[in-house]
Every structure is written in C-alpha cells, then in structure tokens.
Amino acid sequence: MMESLIQASYFIVAAIFIIGLKQMSSPVTARRGILWAGAAMVLATLVTFLAPEIIDSDETLTNISLIMIAITIGGGYAWWGGRKVAMTDMPQMIAMYNGMGGGAAAAIAAVELLKATTEASHLNQIGSESVTIADVLGADVAVLGILGAIIGTISFSGSIIAWAKLDGRLHRSKLLPAQHLVNAMIAIATIGFAISIYFSSDLTPIVIFFGLALVLGIFITIPVGGADMPVIISLFNALTGLAVGFEGYVLGNAAMIIAGIVVGSAGSLLTHLMAVAMNRSVSNVFFAGVGTDTGVASEAAQGEMKEIQAQDAGILMAFASQVIVIPGYGMAVAQAQHKIWELTQLLNEKGVSVKFAIHPVAGRMPGHMNVLLAEAGVSYDMIYDMEDINADFKNTTVALVIGANDVVNPSAKTDTSSPLFGMPILDAMDSDNVIVIKRGRGAGFSGVENPLFFSDNTKMLFGDGQKAASDLIQAVKELS
C-alpha cells in the first residue's frame, strides 16, 4: 500500500514537472512554471520520507535527522543565496547549481560503488569464486552507475571552472598546443579505469577513476572561450540531468529518473538550439577555443572609433522613427536595464517606435537578457528574437547597442579568419545610425575585435552603462 502511494505520488510529480517545464517556455508563464516545478520537488521529497528503507530501518531517527539537517542547510543557503544574488551574478549561480547536481549524482554513485566493493570483498573472503562489483550490483546497475559517476563528476568539476571564469576568478585561458591530445588521453584512461571497476572488487580503481574524471572535467572546460559560456552552461545542465537519471535507476527511485530525463532532454535540446544559433557544432564549441589566447586572430579592424556625446545621441534618438535596443552583458554589469526602460518610455511618448533585439547567446546564460528586461518591466511584445527582427534594421534610424559585442560583430559574416565566422548576428550595421554604449575601447569578453565600432555610421558613447543611459534620458527630457 505504501509503495503504491509513493509510486503514484512520483507519477503526479512527473506530470507537474512536465507542465512546469512547458510553462517555462514563455516569459508570461515562466514564473508560474518555476513555482509548479518547485512544488513538485517538495512533494517528491516529502514522499521519499515514506520509503521503507528510511522508516523501517533500525536507524530511522538518525536517517531522518541527517536528511533534515541536509535539507535545512542546503535549502536555507539556496533561499538566502537566491534572494541575495544580483542579476549580474545569476549565470555564476546557475553554473554552480549545475555543478552541485552533477556532484550529488557522482556522490551517490561513489557510495553505491563503495558499498558494492565492501560486499564483494567480504564474499571473496568467504568463498572460492571471485566476486566483482558487477556481480553484486548486477550488470545494468553497475554500467549505469559508473556512467552516471563519469558524467556527474565531469559536470561537477567543469561547472566549477565555468563558475570561476564567469565570476572573473579564472581569467582568459590558454589553449595549450597539445591540449586536445592530453584531454583524449585522460578520457581514455578514465574509461579504462571505469571498465576495471566493473570487473574488480578493489577500492583503488574507484579512487583513481574519480580523480581522473574530475581532472577531465577541468581540462575540457578551461580551453572554452568566453563567447561559448552560455552553450557550456546549458550542456553541463543536460549532463547533470543525465547523471541524475542514471543514479535514479541505480537507487530504484522513479522521481530521480523522471527528473533526470526531463532536465537532460531539455538541456540537450537547448544546447543544440544554441549551437545552431551560433552556426557551430557542440564539438566545435569544445575544441575551437574561441576567445582563448591562442584562438585564431581575425583581421585587424581598420579606422578609428568616433565618439559621440550623450546630448547629441539623445537628440538623434528623440527624432528617430524607430530605435532598436541591443542589450548585452555590459548592461547587466551596469544594472542599466531600468534606465533603458525609462528611456524607452520617454521615446514612446515622442512617437518613436522602440524594440528590443535579443540574440540567442547574448549574456552569460540562455535567456539572460530576457530576464533582465522583464525585471525592468519591459513589455514582452517589445522583445524580439534575432530571426524576427533582423529585417527591421534596414528601416531603423538608430540601433542602440549597450554592452554587447560579439552578437553584432560583422566579422561573423565577412572575415573567414575570425573565430566567429559563420555565427548568425544581429544586423545592427544595416541601421542608419549605430550608437554603442561601451566602457572602453577594448574587445569584448570573447577577445575578438569588432569592426562595427569603426564603421562610418557608428558612434561610441563611452562610459558606465547606467550613467550613459541616465545622460540620454536627461537629453531627451530637455527637448520637451
């Protein structure tokens, strides 16, 4: 009876997960979807307390106490961190949580493998036949447990590196001459020890296996350039889901299996869509090293950046027929989204049509710019995806680029030597005028120079994004 209740509850949880995920596909219903998915997770957690291995154990009180302590610490920190984190740090938090999920799956695998090792060693001492971990766990459980351990461990260490790079704690990486060869050798060694675990009952292969998997996650993430960080975060999210699903099978926990499959499939689809949006394969993201110190250098930009003052830029925008705003990570750093929305409202009052253009990989994580604009109050019907707005640039008086670089870089279309070549971009260069709000004259996060900034129809408004937006607001108000 109790087992039926648990399985029925897991089925309900799965249905709510899927409904919540569907609602997350639209900014209008995303908040509701997150709340539904959170409620489902609470239900799955509570039902798990009814599992026989918890309530029928000789150490029931101890088990429940440890679980409650873990929930209190983890849940309390997540609640505090979620409320405190700045929008600019949201990508780092997502990367870290991805890593923690992978690490949890790897820890489950480690516990099960260690338990199997202990049991196999005991059976070998009392019997004449050699007993392996595969004999103790069963072939299917052993294979999926080891696969989950590899994937979860790589996701854990790789996500930590992604967090460090996004947080500025690990600066631009060097792609070593033999980097990919070293990675391949570590991967082969990891697989070799994974196979040895299956056929052995020793502790040593397990320790070496996890050590190699940790190193592999670090080594395959370090060469990835800054322009590819959104894709990497999405990929690690998919890997974490896959690892959780595998370990759910090991534990016989339907909720973990379903949640892992949903997260893994959603993350895989998002990773594919983002790679397509960049016109690159996922393998190219890992191996190209876009933005690393040894990445292929593009042609040097010709000309000189032409500066414009906020007063002149404000006048130009106030008398425009249409303005398209292109936000990037610089807007997030400056926390300028609220000022940009205020500027938008002023321009609307003067009869100027204002739209927002979002590139699929703008920011440091998928949907980063959409979240920022929604937080500022920008109406959803003013926000357009790249494929829906690119044709409008030819009829646009001013394209306002704030904190973006690679997503408007024309080298992606014209320079075959550029590491960005082939990536679809927002066609800001087709506008009558381009105004770029930028803190300095350097290249963007990917390290690739942008010829747009030297174009005849481009003017640079240097300074902090929030201050520049405030100055534009003041300039527009003075025309009233």
Residue 223, helix vs strand vs coil: coil
CA distance 344 to 369: 16
Looking at the chain, how many residues does it have?
A: 480
Catalytic residue among 228, 392, 406, 415: 406
DSSP letter assigned to residue 302: P
Q: What is each CA distance from 161 to 37, 239, 241, 389, in whole angstroms?
A: 28, 15, 19, 35
How far is CA 20 from each of CA 8, 15, 93, 311, rounded to the nearest angstrom?
Answer: 18, 9, 21, 46
Residue 402 near residue 372 (C-beta atoms within 8 A): no
Residue 406 bears catalytic tag: yes
The amino acid at 371: V
Distance CA 154, CA 103 (A): 9
Question: What is the DSSP pairing of strand 433-438 with strand 398-402?
Answer: parallel
How are strands ordered across the β-sheet holding 458-462? 383-385, 353-358, 322-327, 398-402, 433-438, 458-462
Residue in the block written with tokens 């003067």: 350
| Beta bridge pairs of residue 402 | 327, 437
CA distance 49 to 140: 26
Please report how many Cα atoms fall inside a 13 Å half-sphere around the Cα of residue 189, on the Cβ side. 16
DSSP string, 341-381: HHHHHHHHHTT-EEEEEE-TT-SSSTTHHHHHHHHHT--GG
Residue 315, Cβ density class (10 Å: 0-12 exposed, 13-18 middle, ≥19 buried): middle
Active-site positions read 406
